[in-house]
Amino acid sequence: MRLICPNCGAQYEVPTEVIPEAGRDVQCSNCGHTWFQYHPDHAAYEPDDIEADEYAVEEDTAEASAPPSPPEPEPEPPEEPPVPEAPPAPEAGPAPGTTGPQRRSLDPSVASVLREEAEREAQARKADSGALETQPDLGLDSPSETDEERRARQARERMARMRGPSAEVDPHPPEEKPQSETGSRSQMLPDVDEINQTLRSATDRRPVETPQGRAPEIEEERRGGFSRGFFLMILLLVVIVALYVLAAPLAEMVPALAPLLETYVAEINDLRVWLQDSVAGLTAPTAE
C-alpha cells in the first residue's frame, strides 16, 4: 500500500495490514503533516460526497440571507492626454553666406601653455628617434689601429695604473706617427728606470735633498721617534723603581705575589752590588 503526503507529496510503501478497515491517523516523517488514512477496501468517498453536499447547501443559504450588494460604479472614462503646443517658428535670421560666426579669441596664457606642450612633445619625439638611430660604442678597436700602436697604448695604461691616481693621464693622447716596420721598437717598450722607481716602496726611497739640507718632514719624523724612545725608557725605569720600592706593601696586599716580588727584589739587589763593584773597579786606579 502506498501512502502519499497531501502536504509535501512524499510517498511511503507500507503493508496493508498496518491500516485498519476503519482507518487511522498517519504522520509524514518529512514535513510532520498528519492526516486520516482509510483502508483501501473501505468506501472512503461516501462521507466526502455528503460533506460536499452539506457545504453547497450552506453556501446557498448564506447567499440568500445576505443583503443585495450595491451596484458597482461605472468606470470613469480615461482622461485625454493634453495636446502639446506647437513650438514657435524660428525667426528668420541672416543668410549663412552673408556673415560668418565670430571666432572667440584664445587666452594668451592658454596659448602659451599649449605652445609649451607642443614643443615638449616635439623634443620628446626627437629624443626617442635619436635614441633609436644612435648606437653606443661597443668597445671594439678601430680597424686602422696596428698591433704596435695597441701594444704602446697598453704599455701607457699600465704605467698610468702603476703611478697611481696622482699621475695625470691625458684622456686624449696625441696621435703618434706610424713607424716603419724596419724601425727600432725600443721606443715602444716602457722605461725600466721609471718602473723601478714606481715599484720602490716608500721606506726604500732616498730622502729628498734641498739646498738647505734634508726635507723638514724627515727631520721632524726622526726627532719625534727619538722623543718617543726617550720617554719610553724613562717610563720603564720608573716602573722598575716603583716595583722595587713598593714590593713589601704589594706582598702584604696580594700574598700570592709575595714569592715573585721577593725574587724580583733579590735580582735588583744583585744588580746593585754588581754596579757598585764595577764603579769601584773603574775609580780605584784613578784614586791611587
Grade residue 167 by pLDDT with cuts at 50, 70 and 90: very low
Strand partners, 25: 36
- 2-4 and 11-13 strand pairing: antiparallel
Evaluated on CA atoms 244, 249, 252, 254, the torsion sign reads negative
Asked which of 178-182, 213-217, 275-279 is least confident by mean pLDDT, the reply is 178-182
Higher-confidence position of 80 and 37: 37
Q: Provide the H-helix boundaries in the chain.
A: 45-65, 108-133, 147-163, 192-199, 216-245, 247-253, 258-287
- DSSP letter for 25, please: E
pLDDT for residue 17: 82
pLDDT for residue 165: 55
Mean pLDDT of 183-212: 60
- Cα gap 80→281, rounded to integer Å: 158
Higher-confidence position of 74 and 248: 248
pLDDT for residue 266: 92
Higher-confidence position of 286 and 222: 222
pLDDT for residue 135: 54
Three cell numbers, residue 197: 722607481
Under the phi-then-psi rule, with left for phi > 0, alpha for psi from -120 to 50, and beta for the rest, what region is 75? beta
Higher-confidence position of 233 and 198: 233
Higher-confidence position of 29 and 89: 29
The residues near 185 (Cβ < 8 Å, ≥ 6 apart) are 148
HSE-up of residue 208 (Cα within 13 Å, Cβ side): 6
Q: Which amino acid is located at 134 in the chain?
A: T
pLDDT for residue 78: 52
Residue with cell string 724627515: 218
Three cell numbers, residue 43: 468506501
The per-residue pLDDT for range 23-68, each reduced to its tens digit, is: 888 888 888 888 888 887 765 445 555 455 555 545 655 555 555 5
Mean pLDDT of 245-256: 90
The per-residue pLDDT for range 125-161, each reduced to its tens digit, is: 888 765 555 555 555 555 567 888 888 888 888 888 8
Would the pLDDT of 206 be above 70?
no
- Cα gap 173→168, rounded to integer Å: 12
- Cα gap 269→172, rounded to integer Å: 77
CA geometry: angle 205, 211, 216, nearest 5 deg: 55
Per-chain mean pLDDT for the chain = 70
Residue with cell string 524660428: 90
Grade residue 239 by pLDDT with cuts at 50, 70 and 90: very high
Asked which of 131-145, 152-166, 211-225, 260-274 is least confident by mean pLDDT, the reply is 131-145
Is pTM beyond 0.85 here?
no
